[in-house]
Structure 1
Amino acid sequence: MTMPAVRPEATCITEQGRTKLSTATSETDRLLDVTEAAMMLGTFNESGVRYPRRLIAERRIEFVKLGSKVRIPESAIRDHIKNNTVRPIRLANMGEAA
């Protein structure tokens, strides 16, 4: 499925405020609707589109506003997953076991 061309006046809402889409995402970055974002996040079966919509409402993820439509760049989903991944602690870093 090919995505339609993005309108040049589209803006991306980030923590720093509105920026032009061309500076916020790459030219090849897919824009996902909230259903696709929920599927990529793995939350669709449990909560439908509530989780990505909450991320948008709380401004915790980048999103693009195209008229009344909201789209999330695929790279923003990948970044969100990466930034919220908790790495295991090695036992050597914890000291001696009791």
Structure 2
Amino acid sequence: MSLTSEQKKHYRTIGHNLNPLVMVAGKGLTENIQLEVDRALEDHELIKVKFAVGDREVKKQLIKELAEIVEATIVQEIGNIALLYRKAENPDPRLSNLLR
């Protein structure tokens, strides 16, 4: 899914105040991490994921791979944090970061 520059700007503004919900450590993308990111995206639609990986290229590859696996769009990458977006099928107004 491709986002317009206005949508990305809006999502970055919302994402600025969010805390990372999932942390990816040195073991890479385990099945549990993929399931947790998938669940978090379904609940919140817009989430931050923190990557505690030393190498920049490995981190960029992990972010890209995770986004492909969970079918999310990378809104922004800053340092060790990635902001991911995926539209929920039935968004819950109490949980969604976009509807609050």
Greater relative CO (CA pairs within 8 A, separation 6+): 2
Output the TM-score relative to the length of structure 2.
0.30
Larger radius of gyration: 1
- TM normalised by structure 1 equals 0.30
